[in-house]
Structure formats: structure tokens, C-alpha cells
Structure 1
Amino acid sequence: TAWQGPHACYGDFCVYSKPDFSGGRGIVVISLKKNAEAISMLPVLSEDRVAEIFQSQGVNVNFTDEVNTSPPLFRATAIPGKGIGLVATQPIRRGQRIMAYTPAIVVHRKFIDDLSKDEQYRLLEAGIGRLPMATRDIVMAQMGHSGDHRVLDIMMTNSFEMWMDIGQDGHHFGNFPEVSRYNHDCRPNVVYYIDGDLTHYTHAVRDIQPGEELAISYVDSFRVRSVRQDRAQRSWGFKCTCSSCSLPEPLANASDNRLWRIYEVENQIGDWNAKFEPEAIELLLSLYQQERLHESHSAGVLGLVALNYNAFGKQELAIKYALLALEAELIENGPKSRGVQSMLLLLEEPKAHWSWRKRI
């Protein structure tokens, strides 16, 4: 195994560390022994180990050049009413990668449920103490809002759900301290995905100009305003004041109604036994644009549109929207997503695809 430890254990959960990971960035895992062993075999960790072996023989090689480094696209600065945030310092084009980071701390999904508060505190303290000083400092610089134990508060406030490619027990939570600098917007200009290899990627969903704040969405953007604001208040301790949440009441109500309509139409055209005219597809695309969801949340709907145009025998439109869906999938969900595979299959031979003329 690539790990040091276990450094401390309670129940089935133990602390493992790799302080020399990624050029000294380090990583800590709090999980079951079998999971720690499986995580150590992920390419991002196993290739790092291979690089160490090469370098010990005097051969300079790095498999993770583009991970855990940030291009000079932004700066951290004070944002009125939000604390510290990220602002673009140069033009960023749609689809451009902004960050790619591995987590500093990974904890098992049942860590909170299965251990007492005291046991959680002790394992987290053992873990944070095993990180290199520079990484520990950036972890501890993150904000918390509950007033609980400092490290637990940081983990609960800033961690992301992640599913690693290690079998049935890959569901964990990861803390990516650099990523936590993004503030929230219900209609973001940046999206993220976490691949099965531990890496958190963020990409621009539209062209961004210098001086614009970079933001991701912390909540489900398809929920109505009251639900989004309640979630932000309960989970992160702030009331969302993004442009969508700050609309005057009549416009906010109209937005909520459009979100409900999106839900209805999307379910309709996603039902292969339902009967409807192609105009319903155009309505759905229009609703996404009106709600400004077409920039950050378009992969799924564009794929559904492509399949439905193919089902109506409209091959040219099916190809057009399959290509748009493929681009959006790569940005929003990554090259390994099911949506990418689905659209590649459709583009290969639309008339031989299972959806061809299915609605005729």
C-alpha cells in the first residue's frame, strides 16, 4: 500500500496518510482499511508512486502535471457581502479548465453516522496533523459556519460528495480547499465534476471577462427560489442574493413557474410512451434559455432533445443537438460520463440507433 498508518482507529474507521503525494501536497483518508487499499490503486495515486520510483533512478517524470496547480486565470479577493471569492484576471473562454485538484482529506460517507462526536474529532485531528504544513494551513483557512469542532465544521461546510472507482463502497466526502474559494450563484459561470480518480475539475460554461467573479452552484438550480435560499441558509449560513434570487417578487414567481414547467415538459419528453408534438422540444429549450440554465445545466436536456429529434425521424436536428450535448457533457460531467457514451452511440449511426423514428 502507498499509505502511512493507520495512525488512529475507531470502530472500522482508520486514518491513513500520504504526505509526499503530488510533490508534497499530501492527502489523508479516513475510511475502512479495504477502501484505503483500493484508493491507493487509483491512477492519480498509483501513477504518483510510479513517478517516485522513476525519480529515485534519476529519471524526471510527472504524470500529474496538470493536477493540483492553478493557471494564472484568477485572483482571490474580498467580495462585498460574500467574504473572499475568486475574480477573473484575464479572459476565460467557454470550456476552459480553471482548476483540477485532488482532495486534502477524504472521509467515508458513514463517518458522521457511525461514530460519536468525540471519535469524529479525534480522527479528524489525527488526520489534519498528518498533512504537510502548507496543505494543513490552506485547509484550516476555510470557513465554517456551525461553530462546531473546527475541523469538523470545515469538513461539513466545504466538502463535496464523491464516488470513487473502487467498487461498491466508493461513496465518500472530499475536502478540496482551493475549490472552496468559489462563491455560490444559482446561475453559475463555472461548473464542476469529480471523476472516479479523486480529481475535482472546474470549467467555464461561458466566456468570462476580467473582473467577473467566478462562481459555482452549491444547490440544485432547478429548485424554486424559496427552496434554494433555505438550503443555502441551513447548509452554509447565508441568504443567496444572486441575480436570480434577487428578482422582484413578480419576476421571481414567473421564474418559479418556469422551473415547474421545465419539470413537467422534461418528464413528458423523457417518457417514451408519451404522445406529444415536436413543438414540446422547442418549448423545453426555450424554457432553459429563459431561466439561464442553458449555460450551466444543458448536457442532460440537449441529450434528451437529440434523442427525441431522432425519434421523430429528424436526423439533421438529432446530429446537431447530439454534438451540442457532447460538448456540454465534457464540460459538465467529464469524458467518462454516461452522457458522452450515449451521444457517441447516437452520432455513430442515427438511423440504426434504438431511438430512430420511435415516436412515429
Structure 2
Amino acid sequence: MRAITHYKLLIAALPICRALQPHASQNTCPWNWLSSTPGQYLCSSAEAIDSLDDIRRLETHHGHNSAGLQSNIWSASPDCFDEYCVYTNNDFFGKGTSLITTASNHQRIAQIQIPETVFKSSYDKARIVEIPGKGNGLVATRAIRRGERIMAARPALLVHRDAFSELPIEDMYYLMDMAVNNLPKPRKESYLAQTGTMGGHKITDILFTNSFQVGLGDYDSFHYGNFPEASVLNHDCRPNLAFFIDQNLTHYTHAVRDVEPGEELTISYIDGSQIRSVRQERTRNSLGFSCACSHCTLSEGDSGASDSRLLAISRIEGELSDFNSQASSPAMIEEYMRLYKTEGLEHNIAGAYTLAALNYNLFGNAAMAKKFAELSVEAGLLERGPGAADVREMKSLADDPKAHWSWNMKPHL
């Protein structure tokens, strides 16, 4: 994994990373038209998820029996700075996890019970290889179908986002060293084996280079989460994987299209719907590398055509998102979806399907609303997980378009 995004003193008010991303359109549970609350990342219960069918199964799952659950015994370090302490559980998630957080957030995490069935091989469909110009990467060892799970990873380290801005850097280094050194030896080694690209204090550099933002449910709950197994996934502006982090802190990654043997498995660190110059500036200035993915290395003519499509997507999205707009039309929805498909944005298409479903319902077209609501649910399960608000909302719309609040609000003649 390359460096993640940081805005102030390397501490992003937005996701650092790779997963919970520095924009509202990708993965986990970003803001959407159905909710006014951004950054809701409590997505689903954590069980083994291998395919879309397994994710759908979780939609009706509302708890776990006590049998077969992982132990949840934490040790607390006596050395704290202000409200931030180190907590370690050598058995949590089956491998061990350390926290640098507040007592209230530790209590939230300490209440999580993880079924043993979640712990399955991360690399049974792929292997780690050296990727020219990228370092290590993950490559498919067999054909992978859309919807297949690639891995379910658990955090080795969770660090409260605000600790970096509220504590002197020397105190943070002390806590970071303690947190990693308290991990079981294999878990500590897996953390230290990751690459840091920003320099300075090694353990902190690894965190900033290989982290996802994780929320636990309120404004004081945002943490940087390091998932060593997921850190091998490199960036692509048109990736073949999507991911989400569920309410039990498990990082799930699934294929969003069919993948051939030998193909690198990738995720997107940034908003791939931006034009090339913006994507390049973002990766260069915030992530520490210039993206050389196939989409960023198109010819000038092809890149210009792509940028034109992306600008058109942004413009149309603005119209369709304004439910009072008089300019929107079924033809505009069709063009919007055509552009999305042409641009290869399969990893981040659930929101587009949602917007199409809502607008068709606004126009009183139940059949098309149902079609796109079902597509939104299918994509949303891969991108955001079964507990995401828009997945539930689109499932409701698909079940009965005419009973949904959006039905026939602006019939189009």
C-alpha cells in the first residue's frame, strides 16, 4: 500500500487511505442522498463472506450465539497521555489487536464479539508477488468471478484520529511503540513487515502509509485502522475490487468484475471519478506517488475523452441529485448510466444505481425504478455491506416502488 491522504500535520479529517476514502463516493458507508449523516461506517455483522449470496444472508442476521465467540479480554497500559491509553487483546480477531484510544471507545470495541467462522484464509485465490514500480502486490491465481470474496482482514492497530493533533508528537511515538510492541510476536512482525513511504518514526510511518479510517458510531469515534493483510492491495483508478469495513471491524474485499488468472487485484485510494489531472495531483501530493495505472496512462486523446465523460457525469449527477430540478429526464438517466459504464467505474457504481432508481421512481416508472434499485442493492452489498443505509433503502424501493416516498413526485410527460 502506498501513502495515504493527510491534510493537516498528516492527520486527515477525512479517511486516510485506502479504504475509507478521502471523498464521499467510495466504499464503506459514505454520505448519500438517503441520509444526511456522513461517515457512517457501521455496515454489517461480521461473519465469513465469500460471495454475494453470503452477503445477502447477513441482511437477515441480527446477532450471534455466545458459543464459538472469540475471547475479549483486554489489558490496559498504565502509561496514558491525557485521555489516550494503550489497550491490547492478544486473542482479539484471532491474531491480536492494540488500540490507542479513549476509555469510552475502548468500551465500544470491547463489546464486540467475533464468531470464529470469520477467520478464513485471506489469500486462497491469490498470491503476493513483486509488481514492477509498486513493490509487493496481490495477483489472482485462478479465475475470480464478480462477487467473490478476496479476503476478510482484521485490524492489528486502531489509533484515535484526534490523538495525533492533541498530543505532542513524542508522546504519540511512545504510545505507538508501546501499542505495537504489546502485540503477539507474529502480529507485531506482520505489522512491521509493511512498508512505510513517508519517512520518520517507522511505526507511525507504517500506519500513515497503510491505513483505513474506521468509525465506531459517533463524532468522537474515528480511528486509523491498520489491516496488514489488506495493505498488499495496490491502487488503480479503475480497480477490480471494492471493500467495506463492517461494525465488527472486519475489512471485506470483493471482486466487482470478473478477474483473470495472473491479473493484479487492486482497490482505489482516491475518487476515480475525478479527471486525470486531479487524480494525478492527488496521488502525487497526498499519497507520495504518481499513478501509472492504465487509465492514467491513456493517450492524450483517449484521456481527454475520458475527462469529458467524467465532467459530464458530474454535471448530470448534480441535476439528478436535485429532486426539484426541471432539467432532469429519463433520457438524462440513460446517458448518466451509459457514461458510468463507459468509464469503467464498476467499483463505485452503487450510488449511481441508487440515483437512477430514485429518479425513475420520481418519474413514476416502477419497472425501471425496481431494476435499478435491485442493481444498487447488488453493487451496494459489495461496496458498502449489507447494513448500509442505502442498501436497505433500495431493497425497500425494489420491493414496492409505489409505496416509496419518491413515487411519482414529478411525473415526466
**So what's the TM-score if we normalise by structure 2?**
0.80
Moved more, 114-123 or 219-228: 219-228
Distance 1:199 1:171 in 2: 15
C-alpha offsets along residues 152-188 of structure 1, whole Å, 9 cap, x if unaligned? 10011111011124x4422111000110100110000
Report the equivalent of 2:302. 251
| Aligned amino acid, residue 29 of structure 1 | L
C-alpha offsets along residues 37-60 of structure 1, whole Å, 9 cap, x if unaligned? 12101233xxxxxxxxxxxxxxxx
| Aligned amino acid, residue 124 of structure 2 | P
Report whether the alignment pairs 1:299 with 2:369. Answer: no
- The offset of 1:315, in angstroms, is 1.3
Moved more, 280-289 or 68-77: 68-77
- The offset of 1:71, in angstroms, is 4.8
Do 1:189 and 1:206's aligned partners in 2 also have CA atoms closer than 8 Å?
Answer: yes
Q: Percent identity?
A: 45
Distance 1:40 1:234 in 2: 37
Higher relative contact order (CA 8 A, sep 6+): 2
Do 1:68 and 1:101's aligned partners in 2 also have CA atoms closer than 8 Å?
Answer: no
Report whether the alignment pairs 1:262 with 2:313. Answer: yes
| Aligned amino acid, residue 22 of structure 1 | F
The partner residue of 1:286 within 323, 338, 345 is 338
C-alpha offsets along residues 82-122 of structure 1, whole Å, 9 cap, x if unaligned? 11100000111101111111100000010211111111110
1:29-178 equivalences under 5 Å are 29-44=99-114, 63-67=115-119, 69-165=121-217, 167-178=218-229
SS at 2:258's partner residue?
A: coil
User: Structure 2: 5+ residue runs without aligned partners?
Assistant: 1-71
Distance 1:342 1:359 in 2: 20
Report the equivalent of 1:51. none
SS at 1:296's partner residue?
A: helix
SS at 1:43's partner residue?
A: coil
The alpha-carbon distance between structure 1 residues 160 and 4, as it changes in their structure 2 partners (threshold 3 A), is same
Report the equivalent of 2:380. 329
SS at 2:242's partner residue?
A: strand
Distance 1:227 1:176 in 2: 28
The partner residue of 2:397 within 325, 346, 349 is 346
Distance 2:85 2:354 in 1: 42
C-alpha offsets along residues 195-249 of structure 1, whole Å, 9 cap, x if unaligned? 2221111000001111000000011112221221222223332211101100112
SS at 1:65's partner residue?
A: helix
Report whether the alignment pairs 1:28 with 2:98. Answer: yes
- Taking only aligned residues, the RMSD between alpha carbons, in angstroms, comes to 1.4
SS at 1:173's partner residue?
A: strand
| Aligned amino acid, residue 108 of structure 2 | A
Report the equivalent of 1:57. none
- The offset of 1:65, in angstroms, is 2.0
Distance 2:235 2:103 in 1: 35
| Aligned amino acid, residue 234 of structure 2 | N
Do 1:8 and 1:126's aligned partners in 2 also have CA atoms closer than 8 Å?
Answer: no
SS at 1:203's partner residue?
A: strand
Report the equivalent of 2:359. 308
Distance 1:12 1:178 in 2: 30
| Aligned amino acid, residue 107 of structure 1 | V
Do 1:7 and 1:16's aligned partners in 2 also have CA atoms closer than 8 Å?
Answer: no
Do 2:86 and 2:99's aligned partners in 1 also have CA atoms closer than 8 Å?
Answer: yes
- The offset of 1:344, in angstroms, is 1.6
The alpha-carbon distance between structure 1 residues 170 and 155, as it changes in their structure 2 partners (threshold 3 A), is same
| Aligned amino acid, residue 8 of structure 1 | D
C-alpha offsets along residues 262-316 of structure 1, whole Å, 9 cap, x if unaligned? 11101101111101321000010011012111x1111011011111112212111
The runs of 4+ residues in structure 1 deviating greater than 6 Å are none
Do 2:108 and 2:216's aligned partners in 1 also have CA atoms closer than 8 Å?
Answer: no
SS at 1:285's partner residue?
A: helix
Do 2:270 and 2:279's aligned partners in 1 also have CA atoms closer than 8 Å?
Answer: yes
Report whether the alignment pairs 1:8 with 2:59. Answer: no
Do 1:22 and 1:68's aligned partners in 2 also have CA atoms closer than 8 Å?
Answer: no
Report the equivalent of 2:89. 18
Distance 1:157 1:111 in 2: 17
**So what's the TM-score if we normalise by structure 1?**
0.91
Distance 2:243 2:315 in 1: 26
Distance 1:262 1:161 in 2: 27
Report whether the alignment pairs 1:273 with 2:344. Answer: no
Moved more, 253-262 or 273-282: 253-262
Matched positions, count: 339
